[in-house]
Amino acid sequence: MSGARWDVAVDAFLAHCSAEKGLAAASLAAAGQDLRRLRRWAEGPGGRSDPARITDQDLRDFLLTVARDLVASSRARLLSTLRSFFGFLVAEDWSQIDPTATIVAPRRGRKLPDVLGVSQVERLLESCDGQEPPDRRNRAILELLYGCGCRVSELCGLDIGDLDCHESTLLLRGKGSKQRLVPVGGPALAAVRIWLEQGRSRLVGRRPSAAIFLNQRGDRLSRVSVWAVLKRAAATAGLPETISPHTLRHSYATHLLEGGADLRVVQELLGHADISTTEIYTHIDRAWLTSAWLEAHPRAK
């Protein structure tokens, strides 16, 4: 392998991640960015033109060099990318040794997600009570984000055929192109039907589109536009600027657990591959239980 081996190895790895693992475009872009960062460092002084010759000490030096410029989540993602990349090289017989095998990742504390109270969610939803097509659309967007716990990318990818009004279900396409069917509550279903019947036709124009949510030009709504919708609604409702689409997803999961839903049911509804990802909500649930106990039990104080 010459200096071009980096190109060959990285391209083959990313193709593998796309075809075999079904990684989303954003995840592939992040992995490519991580590997370009490693390559720039490796081809510096005393350059290593062959990724198969990278040692565990090389990786330790690299990680120490870049750590100061990355937040904890980015460092964790970088190490995950390196493990996958060098594991791939070994599996494909491009390398005999995996240099990440002896590298231990530092334990990271888990940041509890921001969650809205039920009354705050109601204020947010009621902030979009106009009669114009964008108002109808925005109300439907917020109802689905909270009512179904969908990711913003899943929401933007929705087509009309994904909604079954008769069965009150929604087909979501999650990470790795995995699909799941989730129930849609009455308020969310009503908001989407009003948007489809009274608003969408005025935006779609003459160009046919399968997308449920459209912008003013009749194109599929983007993730950035959904963020903007939520920010405006939060400002109108007098809620914190830090609210994001994921805040509504977190609130959805937390309110389900507070209402008595089983953790594995919430895992399925959120589309989490590993229940350990869902377990972060039990911390919030326990905090709510403690608060309720403090308020209600005569011997709590």
Q: Supply the pLDDT for residue 292.
A: 55
From first to last of its 301 residues, the chain has per-residue pLDDT tens of 445 688 899 999 999 988 888 888 888 899 999 999 999 888 876 667 788 888 888 888 888 888 777 777 788 888 889 999 999 999 998 888 899 888 876 655 556 568 888 999 999 999 988 888 889 999 999 999 999 999 999 999 999 999 999 999 999 988 777 899 999 999 999 999 999 998 888 877 667 789 999 988 888 999 999 999 999 999 999 998 889 998 999 999 888 888 888 888 888 888 888 777 777 776 655 555 555 556 665 655 5
Q: Supply the pLDDT for residue 1.
A: 41
Q: Supply the pLDDT for residue 152.
A: 93
Phi, psi torsion values for 273, nearest 5 degrees:
-70, -35
Report which residue type is found at 164. D
Rounded Cα–Cα distance for residues 78 and 90 (Å)? 19
Select from 2.40.30, 1.10.150, 1.20.120, 1.10.357 the CATH code of 5-91.
1.10.150
The answer to pTM > 0.75 is no
Rounded Cα–Cα distance for residues 190 and 104 (Å)? 51
Strand order, beta sheet including 163-164 = 163-164, 169-173, 179-183
Residues of the chain with CATH 1.10.150: 5-91
Q: Supply the pLDDT for residue 276.
A: 74
What size, in residues, is the chain?
301
CATH entry 3.90.220.20 includes domain 118-295: no
Active site residues: 151, 175, 246, 249, 272, 281
22: its two tokens: 């079904």
Rounded Cα–Cα distance for residues 178 and 246 (Å)? 19
Phi, psi torsion values for 199, nearest 5 degrees:
-125, -40
Q: How far is CA 89 from the centre of its chain?
A: 28
Please check whether residue 254 is in contact with residue 120, taking contact to mean a CB–CB distance below 8 angstroms. no
Rounded Cα–Cα distance for residues 61 and 40 (Å)? 13
| Contacts (Cβ under 8 Å, ≥6 apart) of 153 | 24, 26, 223
Residues of the chain with CATH 1.10.443.10: 118-295
Rounded Cα–Cα distance for residues 291 and 240 (Å)? 22
